[in-house]
Amino acid sequence: MLGSLFGRKEEHAGANNNAASRTQVLDHVSRSLSRQRPQSRNSGLLGWLASTQSQILARRVGRGGDATETHQREVLISLAFSVAPSNMMCFILNSLIVTVMLQSQPRTSSNWSAESPPTSPALRPISPQNFYDSPIRLAPATPHMLGARADENKYRMRLLTDRMFSPRDKHHIPLVSLGPSVFSDSSKSAEKVIQLLRCDVLKNGKIVRDETLWIQGNKIVDGATLFFAGVKPDQVIDLGGATAGQRRPLVVPGFIDVQINGYFGYDFAEQSKLEEGLDVVAKGLLKYGVTSFLPTVVSSLPQTYQEVLPIIDAKRGRRSGHAEIIGAHLEGPFIAPCKKGAHNIDYFRSAPNGFADLIECYGKYLDPSSSVQKDDNVVKIITVAPELEGMLGAIEGIKKEWGDKIAVSLGHTECNYEQAEKSVESGVTMITHLFNAMHPFYHREPGPMGVIGFSSLPRNTKKPFFGVIADGVHTSPSSIRVAYNAYPEGAMLVTDAMAGAGLDGDEFMLGSMHVERKGPMEVVIAGTNTLAGSVATMPFCIANLVKFAGCSLAEAVNAATITPAKSLGIYGKKGSLMPGADADFVILDQLSDVDESAFRVARVFFAGEEVFTVA
């Protein structure tokens, strides 16, 4: 009788795949069982029952039903109550099997994500706090939010409220009694977070008023992202409000100087004291706000380059307390003899064999087949005179082998406008100290200056960046005004400082040449009137550019930060205060409402630590 009863129900279940009918079947089964008297039950019947039940459940599970969990549990419980203790073992085994099959349900994405969070070792302090870290992320990034939340997910582990209200968190932490002590562990990790308050910040070349700047480790980060991820700053620097008659302090990126021949008595073409000189200059430049620079090697013999460049290469990179040496600027020897300036004419040469001559002179640093890595070359800029024999081919060779990694600059040249234009088409992207040591500007023969004046060059060539030495001695202020206003985005401030810069003496050695000081900011080759480089400092040049060119302080600072960075292809990492940039910045104060060019370098930060404070 029982068998037929169950047989009929089985057919029903088999024929009709409706979940409701299956429910009915299981209900019938459980009710029938509860009506049974203990004596009529035997293990065989129960075993058959168990298998039926599991088949039905398996079919339900196999179809991915996920709303029936509670129902299945009810059925199991009802079956359990109807079973005599002697048959409990069968039943337990059966329910175990069913439970295992239930567990093998695929997890739907609405429950939790299968990914594990990307955490960098530096951000996870090893501390009891890790005990609360949930291994499962609550809100995995979706494609359209990847950019926005990629950084933030790193910090989600520190978001306390997330952990408190996550479904996996069984630890009930009182919300209110948590004070700053919970986050004091953040100082254990290597990344210290600094917040600057109440500053005007130069962002993207424009002043943003009343801003905050967040620095983590040695990079600038987005404050909102860190804040909403629960990170508190370890150090808060309040720059204070504006006082009467003075503007708020201005935070600007660290200055970049692409042409420094020497400083503080050291000359970079002299190999004997070069290592010491690079260290001293790198340390000393910080007080002028220069946080990155390119040591410049004047025209020399090939073996000098073989000796000097490896030393500069070894000093590259970020070192605490030193301005960063980005690479070397090779000024010469492929330059025009009639525009030698303060270089030694004996070392000049042309390139009849084109690119091969350059390789022969500079050695492995220009040889594409050498061990020097393509994107890790110490040589960053080469100054050439394009009218020399074979130079256009050499320039094209450089561009072909090294692409954007080496910038070719036009300088110490007597080329006319057409030759300058051709060289820009061949790959010249910069002009070394515009107006100095080059063909003068004549209205029917503009020389290299004409390349700046063009609204756009033929065949879509980009106008080159140009450096100006704005010390009032090398170029007349009105020439700077004309050049700057012709192409403001391309104007770069360089100091072209020589070994006597930063010193107070009257006589120095520049390479093998005697130079003497003629005026407070003027040094000439001894006995002549030829300028021998400058003793200008970068803040002096910036103030002068404001006065000469009539631009704002922000624009003058752009000429010392954004434009040099763009010319070297490192804008974004340097010369910028946007998130992701290196934390090299300068705080200028004593700004005046009356005199746009007045400022003082008050504090200099390199890699997130303060390296200079004005007394």
Partner 1 sequence: MRLIIKDNYDDVCRYTSEYILNRINEFNPSPERPFVIGLPTGSSPLGVYKKLVHFHREGMLSFKNVITFNMDEYVHLPRDHPESYHSFMWENLFKHVDIPPQNVNILDGNAKDLERECTEYEAKIAAVGGIELFLGGIGPDGHIAFNEPGSSLSSRTRIKTLAYETIIANSRFFGGDVNKVPKLSLTVGVGTVMDAREVVILISGAGKALALAKCIEEGVNHMWTVSAIQLHPRGMIVCDDDATLELHVKTVKYFKSIEKVHRLLTTEESKVGMDGKVRYSATSK
Kindly list the residues in this chain that would bind partner 1 in the complex (CB under 8 A).
Answer: 110, 138-140, 144-145, 148-149, 152, 160-161, 165, 175-180, 182-183, 197-198, 210-212, 222-225, 227-232, 236, 241
Kindly tell me which of 77 and 175 has the beta carbon lying closer to partner 1. Answer: 175
CB of 428 to partner 1, least distance (A): 40
**What is the C-alpha to C-alpha distance for residues 605 and 603, in angstroms, rounded to an integer?**
7
Paired tokens of 157: 């582990």
Kindly tell me which of 213 and 325 has the beta carbon lying closer to partner 1. Answer: 213
What 3 state SS string does 52-94 have?
A: HHHHHHHHHHHCCCCCCHHHHHHHHHHHHHCCCHHHHHHHHHH
Closest by CA to 315, choosing from 258, 275, 255, is: 275
Long-range contact set of residues 52-55: C-beta below 8 Å, sequence gap at least 24: 52/6, 52/10, 53/26, 53/29, 53/79, 53/94, 53/98, 54/94, 54/97, 54/98, 54/101
Helices (H), 353-416: 355-362, 391-402
CB of 39 to partner 1, least distance (A): 52
CB of 172 to partner 1, least distance (A): 10
Is residue 30 within a helix (H) or strand (E), and if so which, with residue range? helix 19-35
Kindly tell me which of 101 and 141 has the beta carbon lying closer to partner 1. Answer: 141
What 3 state SS string does 230-277 have?
A: CCCCCEEEECCCCCCCECCCEEEECEEEEEECEECCEECCCCCCHHHH
**What is the C-alpha to C-alpha distance for residues 359 and 269, in angstroms, rounded to an integer?**
19
**What is the C-alpha to C-alpha distance for residues 612 and 99, in angstroms, rounded to an integer?**
68
CA separation (Å) from 544 to 115, 371, 595, 599?
57, 43, 12, 11
CB of 275 to partner 1, least distance (A): 45
Residue 594 zone, left/alpha/beta (φ > 0; ψ -120 to 50; rest): alpha
Kindly tell me which of 387 and 589 has the beta carbon lying closer to partner 1. Answer: 589
Kindly tell me which of 183 and 264 has the beta carbon lying closer to partner 1. Answer: 183
Tell me if 228 sits within 8 A of 160, measured CB to CB.
no
CB of 234 to partner 1, least distance (A): 13
Which residue in 200, 313, 357, 496 is the catalytic one? 496
Kindly tell me which of 236 and 345 has the beta carbon lying closer to partner 1. Answer: 236
**Residue 496 annotated among the catalytic residues of the structure:** yes
Residue reference for tokens 């515009």 = 434
CB of 251 to partner 1, least distance (A): 15
> How open is the CA angle 579-542-582, to the nearest 5 degrees?
20
Residue 490 phi, psi (nearest 5):
-105, 0
CB of 142 to partner 1, least distance (A): 8
Amino acid symbol at 366: L
Kindly tell me which of 227 and 264 has the beta carbon lying closer to partner 1. Answer: 227
Specify the pairing of strand 324-325 against strand 290-297: parallel
CB of 199 to partner 1, least distance (A): 11
Kindly tell me which of 162 and 367 has the beta carbon lying closer to partner 1. Answer: 162
Asked if residue 125 has a cis previous peptide bond (ω within 30° of 0), the answer is: no
**What is the C-alpha to C-alpha distance for residues 32 and 26, in angstroms, rounded to an integer?**
10
Q: Which residues are catalytic?
A: 496
